[in-house]
Amino acid sequence: MIKKNVANYKIRLESGIMLLLLVIGMTACVTPYQPDTVSIASSLVVEGQVSDQPGPYTIKLSRTADYSYKSLNLLETGATVVISDNRGNQETLTEQLPGGTYQTRAAGMQGVAGRSYRITIQTKAGKRYESDPEVLPAVPPIQKLYYESNYTTAGGQTWAVLLDTKDPDTLGNYYKWNWTHYEFTAACQKTFLPAKNIYTGISCCTDCWDITRCYNCISLSSDININGKAISRQPISEVPFTSRDKYYIEVEQQGISLGAYAFWKSVRQLTSNTGGLFDAAPSTVKGNIRCVTTPGELVYGYFGAIGLSVGHLFVDRSAGQGNPQVDFPTEIPYPTKPPCIACTNSLYRTSIKPQWWIY
């Protein structure tokens, strides 16, 4: 009996050792999965336009980066950027700090309806890029800018901003609408204190406004079916109920070219895809800029020439139904100056008083 138990033990021990060696062998043969990094050639990205309103006009240059940089675009510095028209007028833009942004002079070139404009770019590396000529179209004025209250038990209180205008009798007019919200802020730096559910802030050294835009709200229209007729109740934006204070919004009505209309329509289609079965496959949106020194090189973006009509609106939210969805309050321990922080002009903040601000 003892011999039999010892034999069984040896069999189980040998089986266990074999199983352990098998597991170790399998583990040693498995290589951790490392997905390939998707690489794309570094390409120039151009953003900017001229209009029939006074400048300065801004052109932003960057380069696409490899996905190992988390799709960060790198600033294209040290370039020579020139805007010219078909009458022989031109202006070389000045690069702004920290770089990658180029501007005309405040009293420099101004676009004129009916003239064509192009941009040429000479990079620090010696490559030359240029856009196709872009004719600056005239645009009708905004006739009416107004808002209506929207309240539902499910969605709560909002306000719809609407626009009326009149399309000219000539066929071939294309429109794009943008909006910008400005809100006065007393704090140029805020830190959230979870223990108190408040922000503590440091005041701005000067008057300062926070800026809100919607970068994926691409609102377009053409006069293919409405030539010469009124454009009524054109949706612009939806105002949130985050306060009972007035909501200040500026609206741009842009007259754009057929090429710009096609470009932004493609961008809108790609950004609105939900990943469904019948969505359009991702693709490169073709702009109007090409590389002269290396034909066939991909260049992203669009240089536009636009007619511009601008309006403003104060939305009165004092009679909103229900309670505003307010943020946590901000306490400024040092309301006097100093100490304070400079209000730095950027995409999200400005020290320049909005054109129609009255408060």
Residue 203 lies in a domain: yes
The reported pTM is 0.82
pLDDT of residue 333: 81
Q: Tell me: do 158 and 130 sit in the same domain.
A: no
Q: Tell me: do 228 and 327 sit in the same domain.
A: yes
Residue 357 lies in a domain: no
Q: Tell me: do 192 and 102 sit in the same domain.
A: no
**Cα–Cα distance for residue pair 315/313, rounded to 1 Å:** 6
Residue 24 lies in a domain: no
Expressed as residue numbers, the domain containing 164 is 144-285+306-350
Q: Supply the CATH number for residue 59's domain.
A: 2.60.40
Print pLDDT tens along the chain (359 aa). Answer: 444 444 454 445 454 445 444 444 444 444 555 555 555 678 999 999 999 999 999 999 999 876 554 546 689 999 999 999 999 999 999 999 888 999 999 999 999 999 999 999 999 999 999 999 999 999 999 999 999 999 998 889 999 999 999 999 999 999 999 999 999 999 999 999 999 999 999 999 999 999 999 988 999 999 999 999 999 999 999 999 999 999 999 999 999 999 999 999 999 988 876 555 545 555 578 899 999 999 989 999 999 999 999 999 999 999 999 999 998 888 888 666 668 899 988 889 999 999 999 87
Boundary (domain end) residue, out of 135, 170, 199: 135
Q: Tell me: do 194 and 157 sit in the same domain.
A: yes
pLDDT tens-digit series, residues 19-74: 444 444 444 444 555 555 555 678 999 999 999 999 999 999 999 876 554 546 68
Residue 292 lies in a domain: no
Residue 31 lies in a domain: no
Q: Tell me: do 182 and 314 sit in the same domain.
A: yes
Residue 32 lies in a domain: no
Residue 15 lies in a domain: no
Boundary (domain end) residue, out of 102, 135, 168: 135
**Tokens 């690489």, located at residue:** 39
Q: Tell me: do 219 and 159 sit in the same domain.
A: yes
Of 282, 311, 171, 307, the C-alpha closest to 227 is 171
Residue 191 lies in a domain: yes
Q: Tell me: do 260 and 332 sit in the same domain.
A: yes
Reading the block at residue 174, the tokens are 């294309």
Boundary (domain end) residue, out of 101, 116, 135: 135
Overall number of domains in the chain: 2
**Cα–Cα distance for residue pair 279/352, rounded to 1 Å:** 42
Q: Tell me: do 242 and 315 sit in the same domain.
A: yes
Q: Tell me: do 258 and 181 sit in the same domain.
A: yes
pLDDT tens-digit series, residues 85-116: 999 999 999 999 888 999 999 999 999 999 99
Q: Tell me: do 191 and 273 sit in the same domain.
A: yes
Q: Tell me: do 183 and 314 sit in the same domain.
A: yes
Q: Tell me: do 77 and 224 sit in the same domain.
A: no
- Backbone phi, psi, residue 106, to 5°: -60, -35
